[in-house]
């Protein structure tokens, strides 16, 4: 007997803030939702790692809009920014405060303790300590998990999109060795970013660009992929984290973010000679846009050996207990924390409209895997959780409104057969991919190096494709996805010769002090 194909009205792939918001909105609108996530724990999603906070407008949408556009070097799409700022406060109040009951830090006088981060002209960011993401995500996951219209399936990866004549009909998941089709009236990708493409990142290891790769392979438009944002202040560590998961070796995760909120509250950057230097690079000094600070930090590290974040102007232990604890755990003593730029966020992604609709029928993308136009060439701090929330809700609403019954179409023929995958194949190829991205598609890009990197990445993708035809192993698909996205980033970087925001072409003049 042929089993009844599995169907759902709305399928969400990914369990960060954007995926949870999409699932919530679709369910509130009466749709039955299946939420697939390869995560096993909340901290497998980047949202759980978000520190600084979530921006509000504090009643002045125009001012937030101006800051977003200025931080993007004038490249953000003003219409997309309007959508964000118009929906911001209602979305935060409705979902985070009224529905989930999140208790953002207060000032003790009955108002929120709004904080400030780089390139914001005002204190307008809601936060919980500097661990805002986990304080949002954990209750959000519990809420969607308890919702009677939402089924959450953890430890379940989507391998391919089911497509037929330009329309997406769901995904093939890894719940069976030959792949398990799940048909959906609408499919919403919320798979997060690409941190695992670099040796050091502030993202979890699972950030392998899955949604972007699956959508691009199915023919969806992607945009702005050259704009990979590096956060200026991460504790660099040894990079053990990225190497560890895929090699199976136990290693401490030692790279971690030092939130921009530290600089917002007064921390300063000093070079190896003990000098403050940011005044020489930008009139907003430590609060300049993130791309400017990241390149200045790298320039000063090269010139003077190191850069530290001096937290002595703050009551560090009291105001940022979570970060202070991470420092203690790694044996960092004193008030000067060594920092380096580190991959943090992809500003581009799957091209979407104001409801998260992609160029493929019935396919949506939200959160970091999507390119809404809000960030342009460089993202303003504390707008990523907000963008995920706003577009997640919009996409969920739209997907639930579609008059679309799930249709059963032919599923791709995935195989799980010999030859066996050589042991450590995925781990070794991942290391090669990360080194290539670090060297040629980092903070600064040299066109000749990008060409060489593209050749390496093409060869690597060819090797992976040979195995993908015969194996459905999740780590192989993650490697396939990472190599597809790496190649797309390399192509976008090679086609864009203008330095703007996060894309800095080194044939241009090196950043120097003013
Ligand atoms: C941070 O806390 O510095 C990161 C905030 C963000 O990326 O928006």
pLDDT tens-place values along the chain, 514 residues long: 456 789 999 999 999 999 999 999 999 999 999 999 999 988 889 999 999 899 999 999 999 999 999 999 999 999 999 999 999 999 999 999 999 999 999 999 999 999 999 999 999 999 999 999 999 999 999 999 999 999 999 999 999 999 999 999 999 999 998 999 999 999 999 999 999 999 999 999 999 999 999 999 999 999 999 999 999 999 987 655 544 455 555 444 578 999 999 999 999 999 999 999 999 999 999 999 999 999 999 999 999 999 999 999 999 999 999 999 999 988 898 899 999 999 999 999 999 999 999 999 999 999 999 999 999 999 999 999 999 999 999 999 999 988 677 888 888 888 888 777 787 899 999 999 999 999 999 999 999 999 999 999 999 999 999 888 888 899 999 999 999 999 999 999 999 999 999 999 997 555 566 5
The neighbouring-strand residues paired with 164 are 167
pLDDT at 251: 46
Ligand 1: centre distance to CA 455 (Å): 33
Closest atom, ligand 1, to C-alpha of 52: 2
State how far the Cα of 335 lies from the Cα of 135, in Å rounded to an integer: 26
pLDDT at 42: 87
pLDDT at 240: 52
Structural domains in the chain plus CATH codes: 6-227+347-402 (3.50.50.60), 232-343 (3.90.700.10), 425-495 (1.20.58.100)
Going by CA atoms, what residue is nearest to atom 7 of ligand 1?
Answer: 381
Q: Which two tokens stand for residue 503?
A: 């894309």
Compute φ and ψ for 365, nearest 5 degrees.
-140, 140
Task: Assign 3-state DSSP to the chain and report helix, strand, coil percentages, each to 5.
Answer: 40, 20, 40
Ligand 1: centre distance to CA 322 (Å): 15
If one residue of 50, 72, 119, 129 were mutated to test the ligand 1 pocket, choosing by the most ligand atoms within 8 A of its CB, it would be 50
For 280-339, give the secondary structure using H, E and C. HCCCCHHHCCHHHHHHHHHHHHHHHCCEEEECCCCCHHHHCHHHHHHHHHCCCCCCEEEC
If one residue of 257, 267, 337, 367 were mutated to test the ligand 1 pocket, choosing by the most ligand atoms within 8 A of its CB, it would be 257
Burial class (CB in 10 A: 0-12, 13-18, 19+), 81: buried
What secondary structure does DSSP assign to 328-391, as a single string?
A: HHTT--SSEEE-EEEEEEES-EEE--TT-B-SSBTEEE-GGGEE-SSSTTSPPTT-HHHHHHHH
Residue 125 in contact with ligand 1 by CB distance below 6 A: no
* pTM to 2 decimal places: 0.95
Q: Which two tokens stand for residue 496?
A: 């864009």
State how far the Cα of 131 lies from the Cα of 319, in Å rounded to an integer: 12
- Is there a catalytic annotation at residue 149? no
User: Are 388 and 16 contacting, i.e. CB atoms less than 8 angstroms apart?
Assistant: yes
Q: Which two tokens stand for residue 3?
A: 């089993």
Residue 499 in contact with ligand 1 by CB distance below 6 A: no
State how far the Cα of 381 lies from the Cα of 71, in Å rounded to an integer: 9
Residue 56 in contact with ligand 1 by CB distance below 6 A: no
pLDDT at 462: 95
At which residue do the structure tokens 């190829």 appear?
429
Residue 51 in contact with ligand 1 by CB distance below 6 A: yes
pLDDT at 70: 97
Q: How big is the CA angle at 131 (ends 125 and 136), to the nearest 5 degrees?
A: 75
pLDDT digits (tens, 9 = 90+) for 292-306: 999 999 999 999 999
pLDDT at 246: 59
State how far the Cα of 358 lies from the Cα of 351, in Å rounded to an integer: 6
State how far the Cα of 322 lies from the Cα of 130, in Å rounded to an integer: 7
Radius of gyration of the chain (CA): 22
Residue 339 in contact with ligand 1 by CB distance below 6 A: no
pLDDT at 423: 78
Q: How big is the CA angle at 476 (ends 427 and 191), to the nearest 5 degrees?
A: 105
pLDDT at 250: 45
Residue 306 CB contacts under 8 Å (≥ 6 apart), including other chains? 271, 272, 338
Closest atom, ligand 1, to C-alpha of 344: 7
If one residue of 382, 385, 386 were mutated to test the ligand 1 pocket, choosing by the most ligand atoms within 8 A of its CB, it would be 382
Residue 158 in contact with ligand 1 by CB distance below 6 A: no
pLDDT digits (tens, 9 = 90+) for 392-429: 999 999 999 886 778 888 888 888 887 777 878 999 99
Catalytic residue among 124, 200, 241, 290: 290
Residue 52 in contact with ligand 1 by CB distance below 6 A: yes
């Amino acid at each position: 007997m042929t089993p009844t194909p599995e169907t759902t009205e709305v399928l969400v792939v990914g369990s960060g803030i954007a995926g949870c918001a999409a699932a919530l909105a679709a369910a509130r609108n009466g749709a039955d939702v299946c939420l697939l996530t390869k995560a096993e724990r909340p901290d497998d999603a980047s949202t759980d790692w978000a520190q600084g906070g979530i921006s509000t407008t504090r009643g002045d949408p125009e001012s937030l809009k101006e800051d977003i556009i200025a931080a993007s070097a004038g490249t953000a799409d003003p219409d997309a920014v309007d959508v964000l700022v118009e929906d911001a406060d209602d979305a935060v109040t409705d979902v985070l405060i009224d529905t989930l009951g999140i208790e953002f830090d207060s000032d003790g006088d009955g108002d929120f303790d709004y904080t400030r981060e780089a390139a914001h002209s005002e204190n307008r960011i809601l936060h919980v300590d500097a661990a805002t993401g986990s304080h949002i995500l954990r209750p959000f996951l519990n809420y969607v998990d308890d919702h009677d219209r939402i089924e959450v399936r953890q430890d379940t990866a989507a391998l391919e999109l089911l497509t037929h004549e330009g329309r997406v009909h769901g995904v093939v998941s890894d719940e069976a060795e030959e792949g398990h089709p799940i048909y959906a009236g609408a499919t919403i990708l919320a798979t997060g970013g690409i941190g695992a493409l670099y040796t050091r990142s502030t993202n979890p290891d699972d950030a392998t660009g899955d949604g972007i790769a699956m959508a691009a392979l199915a023919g969806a438009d992607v945009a702005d992929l050259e704009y990979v944002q590096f956060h200026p202040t991460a504790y660099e560590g040894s990079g053990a984290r990225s190497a560890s998961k895929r090699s199976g070796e136990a290693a401490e995760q030692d790279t971690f973010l030092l939130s921009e909120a530290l600089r917002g509250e007064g921390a300063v950057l000093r070079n190896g000679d003990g000098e403050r230097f940011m005044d020489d690079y930008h009139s907003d000094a430590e609060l300049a846009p993130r791309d400017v600070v990241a390149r200045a930090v790298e320039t000063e590290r090269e010139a003077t050996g190191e850069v530290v974040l001096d937290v002595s102007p703050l009551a560090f232990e009291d105001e940022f207990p979570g970060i202070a604890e991470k420092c203690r755990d790694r044996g960092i003593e004193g008030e000067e924390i060594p920092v380096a730029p580190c991959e943090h966020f992809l500003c581009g992604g799957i091209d979407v409209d104001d409801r998260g609709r992609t160029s493929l029928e019935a396919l949506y993308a939200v959160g970091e895997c999507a390119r809404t136009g809000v960030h342009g060439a460089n993202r303003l701090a504390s707008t990523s959780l907000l963008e995920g929330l706003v577009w997640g809700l919009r996409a969920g609403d739209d997907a639930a409104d579609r008059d679309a019954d799930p249709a059963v179409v032919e599923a791709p023929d995935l195989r799980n057969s010999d030859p066996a995958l050589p042991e450590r194949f995925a781990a070794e190829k991942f290391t090669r991919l990360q080194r290539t991205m670090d060297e040629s598609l980092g903070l600064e890009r040299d066109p000749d190096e990008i060409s060489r990197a593209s050749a390496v990445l093409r060869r690597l993708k060819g090797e992976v494709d040979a195995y993908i035809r015969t194996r459905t192993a999740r780590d192989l698909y993650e490697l396939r996805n990472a190599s597809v996205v790496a190649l797309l980033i390399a192509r976008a970087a090679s086609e864009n010769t203008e330095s703007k925001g996060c894309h800095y072409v080194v044939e241009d003049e090196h950043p120097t002090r003013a």
